[in-house]
């Protein structure tokens, strides 16, 4: 799966080319040389999103404010300084 990069002008001039490229992988569309959008086939989009609600939708469900959540604290020694010697 390769990534194709096209300028927005190229996409506007030949949308068929962009659609064909999206069948091989994501198409990054640039505006003034900077990545601005990504074109995917609907199949790839569905695979990425898996049709599942996002984290925001899950946390926004009614009744969740009553659930107690106290995550454990990370213990000492879990993170060690880098040895650059």
Decide: 40 and 48 in contact? Cβ < 8 Å.
yes
Would you state the pLDDT for residue 55?
A: 77
Decide: 10 and 17 in contact? Cβ < 8 Å.
yes
Write the pLDDT tens digit of every residue in 31-81: 999 999 999 999 998 888 886 777 777 788 888 778 887 777 776 666 777
Would you state the pLDDT for residue 77?
A: 62
The gap between the terminal CA atoms of the chain, to the nearest Å, is 39
Residue for token digits 């900077």? 34
Would you state the pLDDT for residue 75?
A: 67
Would you state the pLDDT for residue 2?
A: 85
Choose the CATH number for 4-53 among 3.40.1620.10, 3.30.450.90, 3.30.365.10, 3.90.1170.40: 3.40.1620.10
Q: Could you state, in order of their start, the residue ranges of all structural domains in the chain? A: 4-53
Would you state the pLDDT for residue 24?
A: 94
Residue for token digits 């650059």? 84
Would you state the pLDDT for residue 70?
A: 79
């Amino acid at each position: 799966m390769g990534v194709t990069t096209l300028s927005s002008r190229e996409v506007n001039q030949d949308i068929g080319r962009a659609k064909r490229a999206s069948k091989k992988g994501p198409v990054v569309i640039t505006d003034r040389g900077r990545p601005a959008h990504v074109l995917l086939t609907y199949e790839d989009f569905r695979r990425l999103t898996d049709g599942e609600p996002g984290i925001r939708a899950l946390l926004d469900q009614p009744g969740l404010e009553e659930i107690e959540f106290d995550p454990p604290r990370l213990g000492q020694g879990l993170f060690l300084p880098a040895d650059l010697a």
